[in-house]
Structure formats: structure tokens, C-alpha cells
Structure 1
């Protein structure tokens, strides 16, 4: 299980659909890897029409 980074993470994302972790279990944080299965958590879905830099906060 990964640990939650208390600092925001800045990521550059390409155009398209991205799934970000909301459960703090992902081994590929800040991206969802499906580790939430069996919990009430669902990934945050971002649909970008153009490349964008985003800040992901815990």
C-alpha cells in the first residue's frame, strides 16, 4: 500500500481520459491502479480536451 503524500503533486497530462487515485492504495499514485476494488472509493475521472498541467492534492 502506498503512503499518502501530504504535498500536492503536479502532473502534466495529455489529451484524453485519466483516472486519478482517491483511495491512497495505488502503487502508481497519483494514478488509479484498481487497488480500490472492494472499497467505497472510485477514481477521479478527468477528461481533457487538450494537454494540461494539474495539481493533485491528497
Structure 2
């Protein structure tokens, strides 16, 4: 598997709604960051589903290297 494109050096803050599903872009190529727009087609990447367990603000990973995908774990603070 190739490495994903680093879409952002910071996380994406998103207000999610209880019971709604979100599909996080894993390849980093989506024009609709942090969400999938189908840009991964033909690659080894697939989006990761996030199901909101509450209506709240969450931070989706922008660097695509989090160990807690699709949410940010601070990995973007590490040198590239």
C-alpha cells in the first residue's frame, strides 16, 4: 500500500449529528476533506466509516497518519 496524501497539517473540526454516518477520506485526495468524494477509486484506499454516537464536535485527522483513524490523535505534530 502506498502512503496517503497529507491533506492538512491540522485536524478538521466537524459538528457531527447523533446517528449520522460519515465517510472519512483515507487517501487524502478528496476535494471534500475530510470526507470521501470517490477520489480513491482505482487505488488501495477505502474510506473509513464514522458513526456519530452523539451530536458533538469531533476532530477528523487531516494528516492521514493518525493511529486512531478517522479521528485525530495528534500525529500531525510529529515531523514528517
Give the TM bin, normalised by the shorter chain: 0.7 to 0.9
Residue among 53, 57, 74 paired with 1:53: 57
TM-score (norm 1): 0.82
Stretches of 4+ moved more than 2 A in 1? none
Structure with larger Rg: 2
Q: Which runs of 5+ in 2 are unaligned?
A: 64-80
Higher strand share: 1
TM-score (norm 2): 0.62
Query: Over the residues paired in the alignment, what is the CA RMSD in angstroms?
Result: 1.8
Q: Which runs of 5+ in 1 are unaligned?
A: none
Distance change in 2, residues 1:46/1:35 (3 Å): same
